[in-house]
Structures are given as structure tokens and as C-alpha cells.
Amino acid sequence: MDSTDDAQVSPHQTLRQVRRALEDLVLFEGRQFIVPDQVSEQIGADPRPPREDASSQQPAPELGAPAPAVAAGRVTSEAASASGGGELASFRQQICECTKCELGHTRQRFVFGSGDPNADILCVGEAPGVDEDRAGEPFVGAAGQLLTKIIEAMGMKREDVFICNVLKCRPPNNRDPLPEEVASCEPYLKEQIRMVAPKVICCLGKFASQALLRSQSSLSRMRGQQHEYEGIPLVVTYHPAALLRNAAYKRDTWEDVKWVRRIYDGVEL
Ligand code: SF4
């Protein structure tokens, strides 16, 4: 090791770095970002990465019943609309009966998205899973709970951001979305992004990242790179369901969401 490098770092700087690292660790690995063991065990038995709904603890509502406020501190699409998202609410009404692709005939509920219609951070996942299909809300299962913790680890509340998926209807049996389904549905996402006009987009997982970036690259290649979607900074990170399966992704995810926060704070890009 070059001794001149050591001389450039003061004990005070080192102490600050250590304190910062410990704060990050507590925030991300401690109080606010823990994957319950029983959830990891349940999902670990599934050979395929689950969507956000897997292992949900939420009771499924009856088909046809009003979509619930999914948990304390979260808001439904309707609630978000009532708080000032008139344009977004109107758009939801326009497209909620969509049958442009086959998924419109097999879904239980249309899953528009939820959160602050004027959010500065917009999170995009892949598609609704079985619980989202029943609830009509995005990210309501175990992965959704983890997403809430990630958002809180950024120093925000879930209702401060806007959360949606590339597809608004559930692919049967959680299969991958088909290219024609993405082509049919992506204009809706594009319009949502235009209306919300976030400062930064956080893409959750490979599929959403590939769809928005029009790329076939792997997640590991897209992660850590500076991207833009229609002029809006875009950060690629792991889907929360992937973190439930592999806790080793948490450290990288924490770096990604800190990056999202810095862009939100206007100290990056
Ligand atoms: S997935 Fe999108 S395009 Fe297909 S029916 Fe649902 S809303 Fe329409």
C-alpha cells in the first residue's frame, strides 16, 4: 500500500467514514430493512423468483369488492387521486377497462399504481402478481413490504413516491410478460410518467429496466450505470422479490437507493 495514500486520510475523515458506514448498516440491515426469516424460507423453496405478491400475509379481498387501503401508511390509487391527482385519476378511469391484450380478459383487477400523483420518485416493477391482481394495488405482498422498508430507509414514506408496474394486468401463473403485451401496455406507463413527472425513476428488476431502457442487457450490466428515460434520470436496482431470495443483493440495492436519494436531493446528475 502506498503510504502517501494513508497520509491523505485524516483520522477525523476515517472516523466519519466508519460512522457513515455503520449508520448505513443499521438503517439498511437493522431496524428498517430486515427480511423475515420465515418469508425467506417460504420463498426459498420456490425455484422461480417470485413476483412481489408471493407469500403475502394479506387476506385477499372478494372479487368485486372495493380495493383496500393495503396497509397503514399506504394509499390506494383512489386515495392518491383524491389528494390532487385529478389528471392521473381521469387517466385511470379511461384505461381501467382495457382489453388491448389477452391479459385484459384473464385479470381479476386492473392495477394502475398508487402513491403521490406528484411524486419526485417513481418506482416501476414488472407486473402484478396474484395478490396485486386480487387487491388492485401494486406491491402488496412480502416483496411489497420490503419495498416499503427500502423507501423508508431512504428517509421517505411509501405514500411519498408513486409505485406502478410496466403491465397493469397479471400474466397468468406469473409467467414473463410477452413482447406484445409490453408493447400494448407501455404507452400507459409512459403517460403515467409524463403526468407524475418525477425527478428520478427507480426500475425494480431486470424486466422493468429492459422495458424502459429498450435493452436486452443483464441487470448486472444495467446496474450502476447512469440512464435516462425521456430525459428523467433512471436508476436500475434489484426487484425486492430478488432480495427475498438472496440477501447478498441488499448491499448493492442500498447503494442504488442511496443514489436515487441523492438525485432526489439534487446533489447528483
Ligand atoms: S396488460 Fe395493459 S394493455 Fe394488456 S389489457 Fe392490461 S392494461 Fe390493457
Q: Which of 130, 135, 118 is nearest to 170 (CA)?
A: 130
- pLDDT score at 19: 72
Indicate whether 255 pLDDT > 50: yes
> Residue 38 — very low, low, confident or very high, per pLDDT cuts 50/70/90?
very low
- Pocket probe for ligand 1: among 108, 181, 189, 191, the residue whose CB has the most ligand atoms within 8 Å is 181
- Pocket probe for ligand 1: among 184, 191, 207, the residue whose CB has the most ligand atoms within 8 Å is 184
Nearest ligand 1 atom to alpha carbon 107: 6
Instruction: Output the ligand 1 site: residues, CB below 6 A.
Output: 98-101, 103-104, 167-169, 181, 184-185
In-domain check, residue 8: no
C-beta neighbour count of 79 within 10 angstroms: 15
In-domain check, residue 99: yes
- Pocket probe for ligand 1: among 112, 169, 178, 182, the residue whose CB has the most ligand atoms within 8 Å is 169
In-domain check, residue 15: no
Q: Which of 35, 57, 31 is nearest to 146 (CA)?
A: 35
Distance, in Å, from the CA atom of 256 to the CA atom of 140, rounded to the nearest integer, reads 22
In-domain check, residue 197: yes
Using one digit for the tens of pLDDT, what is the confidence trace for 157-206? 999 999 999 999 999 998 999 999 999 999 999 999 999 999 999 999 99
Provide the CATH number for the domain around residue 151.
3.40.470.10
Q: Which domain holds residue 197?
A: 69-265
Q: Which of 197, 265, 254 is nearest to 29 (CA)?
A: 254
Please give the tally of structural domains in the chain: 1
- List the single range of 48-52, 114-118, 151-155, 189-193 with lowest mean pLDDT: 48-52
In-domain check, residue 76: yes
In-domain check, residue 85: yes
- The residue type at 141: G
- pLDDT score at 62: 34
The rounded Å distance from CA 77 to ligand 1 centre is 17
Indicate whether 213 pLDDT > 50: yes
